[in-house]
Structure 1
Amino acid sequence: MFVNYYTSFGSYRKAELLTVSKQSPPGLKVKQLDFGPSLFFHVDEVVATYNDLVLMCLNCYRQGNIYYICNPTIKQWIALPPAPIFHGKKPVGFTLDSDNKCCKVVRILGFKLELETPSLEVQIFSSETGEWIQLDLVLQGCKSRHRYSFINIMNYSPVAHNGTLYWITCSGHLIGLELFSKFNINTTKCHGRLISNPNPVRRVNLKDERLCVCQGSVRLCQLYSGPESKLSLYIWELKEDDEWCSKEFFDLHPLLSGFQMRYRLLAFDSNDEDILYLWRKEQPSETLDILMCNIRTLKATEISQKFSSSSTFPLRSFQFVLPWWRWPTPVPRLN
């Protein structure tokens, strides 16, 4: 399942929940995320997801940011205290502890490069304290030669895994912010580290890349273009020591050899490592649809109706996973 966020009717924005079914025949159901604060403000944006919870922001381009966490399945939401004033739009993510009781929201303000070892300036909200704090973090593994190689964070929602949020930068490095661990009980603490790019040599041919959590592991999927527009998929898995392990390689040319098509990565199925979802943009009609691809059998199925293409390709999307093993996640309580 995915939360799809896009623009329509001029500057008016709306968020929709796209439910993907792998039953025969596979299909897609669309449901508007129109409840809670959005009924009154209509100036909100999806900025991050965690399992089946959605983090939305009111007036995200203004100084006074108000975030609220909601669960569309059970229609519950809670507004967080206003974030400290800061100009502009910043990368945001959130995660919960293993008991789904404490929630932490992280907003990255930027990097301080004037020091020999750059530091990351962040604002963190904890539901245990009900307050925002601001920290300067020195990223473990960050050297002076990395000074300008990871400044820009890609416009994707971070991936949460085992209490850590992972952002991918335009240089292919990962920024990992550990918010919950057995060594990190204090709600004001946050440990940050920089994780190297697994395949820096081939980035000149990189077409797209996405972070995901699949079958309990953090994975990086990289789509490369080669001679005659052939597409190749590299899959890397992040180990506990922050080292990358080459998982698999797939030649997708037999699968994606359509005429005048452009493809971008959407997400892997969180429970099925063979299922990859792609955005497909048709030319010259400039419409978008979603493909469900089995990269093992090299079979693709169109599972959506056509979307109107905007100036941005692909449409910004966030993974939304319903927990089949338990009840929907309740929104966290604030102290």
Structure 2
Amino acid sequence: MKIESLKCIYYVINPVTMQWLALPPVRQHETPLHGFICSYDKHKQLTYRVLRLLKIKDKNMEIKVDMFSSDTREWTKSLVSCPRRFDLSFFATAAVVYKDLLFWWEIKSNRIVGCDPNNYRFFELPVQMEHGIDYFGLCGGSLRICEIPGQEDPSLLRVWVLKDFVKNEDKWCLEHEVYFNQMTWKNSTWLTEYVKSPYVQVFAYHPNDGDILYLVIKSRIVLCNMQRKTLEMLHDFPMLAHVCARAHTSVLPWWPTPIPSSPLQNAT
């Protein structure tokens, strides 16, 4: 995204092919929330949408939505009424795409809000979760939240998974509860004294393995296997000490493996 003379230009980038496309500029009023949704149809054709959400300052909970669609190749504007109130200025995380909805964590009400933007879903955090979310994202096609309580128990880490989303019977299930001081280092044992809050940050979820988290400890990328109770330093990344240590997981779609025809079929 680039802002020039009250106009904002968004870029769609393919991180694999390193190709990029500049979208038509759109007028920049205030700082909006924005998100990117892409999907593949049954013919493996890619379609995508870029959404910008801006709250209208009035008594009604109305959201101004700018949307660019790859199908129409233009921006459209709409005004959408939301059934429940929320404050866009208190959305703490970057958007997470799940089931064709954009999800944010709203700090003020301590809940997760999803929108598409014609549909809104609200998810209260687990009752046992007394602190904020340390990381919010996807793993294996499931929405997950992670908590490191901090001062009360600096070595504790919990991971919850959202279940029964499709049935509208949403519930958070505690999948992992581990203590760093009970884990074994495979290497770099000198980091042991730092495996506690506030030195630990959740860097990313593994895209497919729900037992694995990637952490940042003293500018080191550390693989945390919550099932095996092991820690392993993967990489020293000094720049992480000066930037927000969060990664966005990009996962390539798994296409069905083609089944070759048999020699008998070829003969006929």
Q: Which residue of 2 aligns with 1:129?
A: 72
Q: Which residue of 1 aligns with 2:209?
A: 272
Q: Which structure ranks higher in relative contact order (CA pairs < 8 Å, sequence separation ≥ 6)?
A: 1
Change (3 A) 1:59 1:303: farther
Residue 149 of structure 2: SS of its match in structure 1? strand
Q: Do residues 59 (structure 1) and 3 (structure 2) align?
A: yes
Q: Write out per-residue CA displacement over residues 269-307 of structure 1, whole angstroms, 9 at most, x where no aligned residue.
A: 121111111122x3xxxxx12111101111111111232
One-letter amino acid matched to 1:78: L
Q: Do residues 319 (structure 1) and 253 (structure 2) align?
A: no
One-letter amino acid matched to 1:109: L
Q: Write out per-residue CA displacement over residues 205-243 of structure 1, whole angstroms, 9 at most, x where no aligned residue.
A: 44x432222222222223323635232313131422161
Match of 2:123 among 182, 196, 199: 196
Change (3 A) 1:191 1:147: closer
* Preserved contact between residue 201 and residue 245 of structure 2 (Cα < 8 Å): no
Q: In 2, distance between residues paired with 1:137 and 1:68?
A: 25
Residue 309 of structure 1: how far off its partner (Å): 4.9
Any stretches of 5+ residues in structure 1 without a counterpart?
Answer: 1-56, 179-189, 283-287, 328-335
Q: Which residue of 2 aligns with 1:245?
A: 172
Q: In 2, distance between residues paired with 1:130 and 1:139?
A: 26
Larger Rg: 2
Change (3 A) 1:164 1:196: closer
Change (3 A) 1:136 1:69: same
Residue 279 of structure 1: SS of its match in structure 2? strand
One-letter amino acid matched to 1:108: L
Residue 154 of structure 1: SS of its match in structure 2? coil
Q: Do residues 302 (structure 1) and 233 (structure 2) align?
A: yes
1:87-236 superposed matches below 5 A: 87-88=30-31, 90-99=32-41, 100-110=45-55, 112=57, 114-115=59-60, 118-140=61-83, 142=84, 146-147=85-86, 151-156=89-94, 158-170=95-107, 171-178=109-116, 190-199=117-126, 202-203=129-130, 205-206=131-132, 208-225=133-150, 227-236=152-161
Any stretches of 5+ residues in structure 2 without a counterpart?
Answer: 185-190, 258-268
Aligned alpha-carbon RMSD (Å): 2.8
TM-score by length of 1: 0.63
Change (3 A) 1:245 1:176: same
Q: In 2, distance between residues paired with 1:196 and 1:108?
A: 19
* Structure 1 runs, 4 residues or longer, greater than 6 Å off: none
